[in-house]
Amino acid sequence: MREMAARFIQVACTIVVALCAGVCVWVGFQDGWPKDQSTFVAQICTLVCLCEALAAMVVVRVPKLNAIFPRLIAVGGGLIGVAGALAWSTVELPLTESISLNVMRTLGVALGSFIMGSVTVAWLLGHAYLTATKMTIAPLRVLSRLFSLAVFLRFAYLLVACGVIYLGPAQEVGPSDWSRLMGSWLVLSMRVGVGILTVAVLAYMVGDCVKLRSTQSATGILYFASVFVYIGELSSQNLAGEVGLPL
C-alpha cells in the first residue's frame, strides 16, 4: 500500500462507499427495514464495509501512522465485503440442508467477489499510472497476478460445480438440474466463452504487458477484461437460478 498513490486508494474507497450506500438505499426503499435475518446481516456487513472504506480514506492521508494500521483496515474491509456478498447471496439462494451444496454456493460467491474485485481494482490502478507517474510497477504486477489467480480458480470451480450437478450427490441436485443447465446452453456458452476463456486470454496479455512495464496497454486490456468479467458473472447468477449454484 505504501507503493500506491494515495489518490488511487481514495478513488477506490469512494467507489466502495458509493456502492455500499447505493445497496443500502435500494434495499431500504424496496423492503424497508430488513425483517429476515439474512437481509439484516447483509445490511450490517454492507454498512461496516462502508465505514471501513471511509476510515481508509482518512488513514491514507496520515503517513505517520504505523503501516500495520491501514493494512488491517484494508484486510478487514475486504473480509467484511466478502461476508456481505455471501450474506446477500443467501437472500436470493437460501441455505439448504445439504452442507456440500451450501459450501459450493459459498465458494462460488467468494470466487465471484475475488475475480470482480481483482479486475476492477487492477484497471483502476492502471488508470492511476496516467497521473501518478512516479508509482512503481510492483502494485500493478501484484494485482495482475491476483487477477490471473482469480480466473484460474473460477474456471476450476466451474468444472467442479458442473461435475457436482452431473453426478448429483446432493439431494437438491439431480439429473433435472443437469437438463436445465444444458437447456440454458446460450447463457452457459456466454459464461464459459466470454466470462472464462476470453478473460483468461486477456489476463495472460495483461501479465505480459506488465512484464514489459507497459501500463497503458495493460490498462486498456483490463478495461475490456472487466466488461467480460461482469458479463460472465451476470451469466453465472442467471445459471444459479436454474441449478442452484453460481457457476
Tell me the average pLDDT across 103-125.
Answer: 87
Q: Using one digit for the tens of pLDDT, what is the confidence trace for 11-70? A: 888 888 888 888 878 776 766 555 667 777 788 888 888 888 888 888 777 766 656 777
Q: Domains of the chain: which residue ranges?
A: 1-92, 98-247
pLDDT at 170: 46
Picking from 106, 99, 147, 97, the residue whose alpha carbon sits closest to that of residue 126 is: 147
What is the pTM assigned to this prediction? Answer: 0.81
How many residues appear in the chain?
247
Alpha-carbon distances, residue 63 vs 9, 58, 69, 70, 73 (angstroms): 13, 10, 11, 10, 15
- What three-state secondary structure class fits 98? coil
pLDDT at 67: 67
Q: What is the mean pLDDT of the chain?
A: 81
Q: Which three cell numbers stand for residue 57?
A: 480514506
pLDDT at 175: 52
Q: Which three cell numbers stand for residue 139?
A: 502494485
- The CA distance from 116 to 227, in Å, is 10
Tell me the average pLDDT across 188-198.
Answer: 89
Q: Using one digit for the tens of pLDDT, what is the confidence trace for 139-161? A: 889 999 999 999 999 999 988 88
